[in-house]
Amino acid sequence: SVLERNQNEHNPGPEKNLIYDTEIHLYEDGDPVPDGYVAIDFYSEIKVSAGSGYLNIEHQSPHKFLFPINEIRRYDVKPDCAKVLVVDGESMIPDLYPGQRISIDTSAKRIFDGEIYAFLKGDELKIKMLFEWNEQGKG
pLDDT at 14: 45
Distance separating alpha carbons of residues 139 and 130, to the nearest angstrom: 12
For residue 119, count other CB atoms closer than 10 A to its CB.
14
Which residues have a Cβ under 8 Å from the Cβ of 34 and sit 6 or more positions away? 66
pLDDT at 2: 41
The SS3 assignment for 126 reads strand
pLDDT at 7: 39
pLDDT at 46: 77
Positions of the chain with pLDDT lower than 70, given as ranges = 1-29, 50-58, 134-139
Q: Which helix (H) or strand (E) holds 118?
A: strand 115-121
pLDDT at 62: 80
Distances (CA, A) of 19 to 16, 26, 70, 97, 133: 8, 17, 11, 16, 28
Q: How far is CA 118 from its chain centroid? A: 7
Which residues have a Cβ under 8 Å from the Cβ of 12 and sit 6 or more positions away? none
Burial 10-28 (b: 16+ CB within 10 A, else e): eeeeebebbbeeeebeebe
